[in-house]
Amino acid sequence: MSRVLVTGGAGFIGSHLVDHLIKAGHRVIIIDDLSSGSRQNLNKKAKFIKQKVQHQTMPGIFKANKVDFVFHLAAQIKLQFSKKYPAEDAETNIIGSLRVLDAARQAKVKKLIFFSSAAVYNIQDKPLNKETDIILPEIPYGIAKHAVEQYIIKSGLKYSILRPSNVYGSRQGAFGEGGVVAIFCSQAAKNRASVINNTGHQTRDFIHVSDIAAGALKTINMAHNQVINLSTARETTINELYDLIYSLVAKKIKPIRGVYLDEQYRSALNNKLAKKRLNWQPRMLLAEGLKETYNWFIKKYE
């Protein structure tokens, strides 16, 4: 039984990862400041510490809890916020990450697993992005994630760096660019139309949070010192996504056509390395995952 610390463990992806870790028999410590996470997401079998990752007390927390492995997910996740307030974004996503990295080194943890992002890739590249593709992020969020990747690679610690595609599922907040599934499901659960910006032909690679958690769990013992995409390697248009979700609603609801936004047109990640190094592949079909997510929002609003 290992002691595993999860930063951002009260958040969307982090809380699902915590559940998987506990089910696998690990002792889990969660660090989260609850700025975007929720107490409702906390697993009662985990130890919870309310704390900002950029706080200087991090090394003491690691040592006191005799941490073996670290999953670092705590982050500022809003892409448009990072454009408008890059310094605030860097405070959490770079400085906070360096605090975690420093604490991990001092505590001599066995391994650090970092959740990076597909935003590190050059958005002009065509899918499917591979781990060896050109890294040229165009937004501060992606720049910060890539900077932390480099700090970790050069840290001397054993590591895995994960770059997930567009993750969706229960507990996701219905806001922000990455939460389009949650936004659509939330609106559909209220029998309201959702807004589709641009043409709706823009694509994303939607992967269920359970597949992400399962892949991440494997990195404790596998894929050492590697950067790995976690994805379905399939493109789905926003129009197709809308139709799949709203097919679950009793009455027909047409989308509201929105405005033009400066956003990536196509996005999907190659997942061959994850299949090879982690003996992993996504199992949740999109239609099934969307139905599960939609039903979660239905129960939430009951």
Kindly name the residue from 141, 159, 168, 294 that is annotated as catalytic.
Answer: 141
Please confirm, yes or no, whether 265 is among the known catalytic residues. Answer: no
The C-alpha angle 204, 15, 120, rounded to 5 degrees, equals 35
| In the chain, domain spans | 3-168+209-232+269-278, 177-203+235-267+286-300
Q: Identify the pLDDT of residue 125.
A: 62
Per-position pLDDT tens, the chain of length 302: 899 999 999 999 999 999 999 999 999 999 999 988 999 999 999 999 999 999 889 999 999 999 999 999 998 877 778 778 888 888 889 999 999 999 999 999 999 999 999 989 976 667 899 999 989 888 888 999 999 999 999 999 999 999 999 999 999 998 766 699 999 999 999 999 999 999 999 999 999 999 999 999 999 999 999 999 999 999 999 999 999 999 999 999 999 999 888 788 889 999 999 999 999 999 999 999 999 999 999 999 98
Q: Which CATH superfamily is domain 177-203+235-267+286-300 in?
A: UDP-galactose 4-epimerase, domain 1 (3.90.25.10)
Q: Which CATH superfamily is domain 3-168+209-232+269-278 in?
A: NAD(P)-binding Rossmann-like Domain (3.40.50.720)
Q: Structure pTM?
A: 0.95
Q: Do domains 3-168+209-232+269-278 and 177-203+235-267+286-300 have the same CATH topology?
A: no
Find out whether 37 and 59 touch, Cβ atoms under 8 Å: no
